[in-house]
Amino acid sequence: MTDSGAFGYFLDAGVVNLDGVVNNRAYQVALRDHGLRAYLDEKNITGIAHHAVPLAKVPPGYGTYAYRVRSHLFGITSEVQLREADEIYRREYNDGTGPVAFIVWRRPVTPSTRF
């Protein structure tokens, strides 16, 4: 998302920009090797924020949303499954292209995640 660094600063938490443009090579390798969950665990990431999600993809009762994450280095796409039950924040708005939402999901924490 735009300004994800500022988001992390004011949240006082670590931030991984899932579009991967400014992340390190380890992030790209994790995407390539289907190791995104372990990478996020290592970085203690406990939530996922996504802006401008088309409302048609996340209407009431959507259950799960497949958020596609692209490795720009290796040219592959992975998916993060986000559950409606894990939503902790939602704000709907019109971004000029139509109705969208800014949503924050609580990331299911694995036992290896440190706090």
Bridge partners of 66? 81
What pTM was estimated for this model as a whole? Answer: 0.82
Amino acid letter, 112: S
Place of tokens 């920009």: 17
How high is the pLDDT of residue 1? 57
The DSSP 8-state label assigned to residue 110 in this structure reads P
**Mean pLDDT within 81-103:** 96
pLDDT above 70 covers what percent of the chain? Answer: 85
- Dihedral, 7, 10, 13, 15 alpha carbons, nearest 10: 20
Give SS3 for 77: strand
How high is the pLDDT of residue 110? 64
The DSSP 8-state label assigned to residue 111 in this structure reads T
Does pLDDT of 29 surpass 60? yes
Q: For 50-78, what is each residue's pLDDT tens digit?
A: 989 999 999 999 999 999 998 989 999 88
How high is the pLDDT of residue 64? 97
pLDDT band for 114, please (50, 70, 90 cuts).
very low
Separation between Cα atoms, residue 72 and residue 32, nearest integer Å:
10
Cβ partners under 8 Å of residue 79, min gap 6: 66, 67, 68, 69
